[in-house]
């Protein structure tokens, strides 16, 4: 069985996180990155990482919640970042689609996450929706030297620039959707050594489960869709992603 990795899952949002981790292991998923979007979920991500050997943690505040992020929240993120099970900072970034926080506030909160990642020498997990230009500009100006993982990759017009900068591009279940033609094309242009896969559980279930809550075990469907688009075997794709995951998060294979 191929060895799969899910580089972005919100375990705390699943009905039974522990069962989901066990089901993923049975499906050949060797690594799951549990991602925080606020202080509560960041604490839980760290707790899951301590409970399960296959789970690692990322801690951060989602751009939706940027307006409510306090100095105390960032002090706690600083503390959580010291935990050995925390391998990344995020989910952070910009979301101009929902615009649930003022854009200048989103940008400043994003910058604070970048500084936190650089200070702790940790990768940065980035959310970008309808904000490609500002995301790329802010990363160019603030994140030199950081390892960047572009979660649920949507910057389809910037694949080559992302590759030049060495950014990892993580594909989610929407890559399997028939109408995602521009993402399909982008998928064929991502360098093999910068490609990652994720579920974004409980969101973005891939075909054939589209419309139902997602779970980490279904990252195999993402890998299958990506392999098909890239005209390669799922074994070859999974092996490359497995190596990329460990390199991106500075882990031993």
DSSP codes joined into one string, the chain: -PPEEEEEE-GGGSS-HHHHHHHHHHTTEEEEEEE-SSHHHHHHHHHHHHH-TTEEEEE---GGGGGG--HHHHHHHHHHHTSTTEEEEEEEEEETTT--S-HHHHHHHHHHHHHHHHHHT--EEEEEES-HHHHHHHHHHH-TT--EEESS---GGGHHHHHHHT-EEEE-GGGG-TT-HHHHHHHHHS-GGGEEE---BTS-PPTTSTTS---GGGHHHHHHHHHHHTTS-HHHHHHHHHHHHHHHTT---
Residue 83 lies in a domain: yes
Predicted local confidence at residue 183, as pLDDT: 98
User: In angstroms, what CA-CA distances link 183 with 82, 97, 123, 189, 198?
Assistant: 36, 18, 24, 10, 15
Residue 201 lies in a domain: yes
Residue 88 lies in a domain: yes
pLDDT of residue 145 exceeding 90, the answer is: yes
pTM of the model: 0.97
Q: Which residues contact 89 (CB under 8 A, 6 or more apart)?
A: 58, 59, 60, 77, 81, 113, 116, 117, 120, 122, 123, 124, 125
Predicted local confidence at residue 186, as pLDDT: 98
Range of the domain at 243: 4-248
Q: Give the confidence band of 1 by pLDDT, cuts at 50, 70, 90.
A: confident
Mean pLDDT of the chain: 97
pLDDT of residue 74 exceeding 80, the answer is: yes
Q: Which residues contact 49 (CB under 8 A, 6 or more apart)?
A: 34, 55, 56, 57, 83, 85, 86
Per-residue pLDDT, averaged over 151-173, amounts to 98
Q: Are 49 and 56 in contact (CB under 8 A)?
A: yes
Residue 177 lies in a domain: yes
Q: Are 76 and 39 in contact (CB under 8 A)?
A: yes
Instruction: For residue 234, give the CATH number of its domain.
Output: 3.20.20.140
Residue 253 lies in a domain: no
| pLDDT tens string 103-115 | 999 999 999 999 9
Return d(Cα 26, Cα 21) in angstroms, integer.
Answer: 9
Residue 50 lies in a domain: yes
Q: Give the confidence band of 31 by pLDDT, cuts at 50, 70, 90.
A: very high
Q: Give the confidence band of 252 by pLDDT, cuts at 50, 70, 90.
A: confident
Residue 160 lies in a domain: yes
Count structural domains, the chain.
Answer: 1
């Amino acid at each position: 069985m191929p060895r799969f990795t899910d580089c972005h899952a919100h375990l705390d949002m699943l009905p039974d996180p522990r069962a989901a981790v066990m089901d993923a292991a049975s499906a050949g998923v060797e690594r799951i990155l549990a991602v925080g979007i606020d202080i509560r979920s960041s604490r839980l991500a760290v707790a899951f990482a301590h409970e399960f050997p296959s789970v690692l943690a990322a801690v951060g505040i989602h751009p939706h919640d940027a307006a409510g992020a306090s100095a105390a929240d960032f002090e706690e993120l600083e503390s959580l970042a010291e935990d050995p099970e925390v391998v990344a900072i995020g989910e952070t970034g910009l979301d101009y689609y929902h615009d649930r926080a003022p854009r200048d506030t989103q940008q400043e909160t994003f910058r604070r996450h970048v500084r936190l990642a650089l200070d702790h020498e940790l990768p940065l997990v980035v959310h970008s929706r309808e904000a490609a230009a500002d995301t790329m500009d802010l990363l160019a100006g603030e994140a030199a030297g950081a390892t960047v993982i572009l979660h649920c990759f949507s910057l389809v017009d910037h694949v080559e620039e992302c590759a030049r900068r060495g950014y990892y591009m993580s594909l989610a279940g929407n890559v399997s959707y028939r109408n995602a033609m521009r993402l399909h094309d982008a998928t064929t242009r991502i360098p093999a050594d910068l490609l990652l896969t994720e579920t974004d559980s409980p969101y973005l279930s891939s075909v054939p489960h589209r419309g139902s809550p997602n779970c980490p075990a279904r990252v195999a469907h993402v890998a299958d869709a990506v392999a098909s688009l890239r005209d390669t075997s799922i074994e070859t794709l999974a092996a490359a992603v497995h190596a990329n995951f460990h390199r991106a998060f500075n882990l031993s294979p």
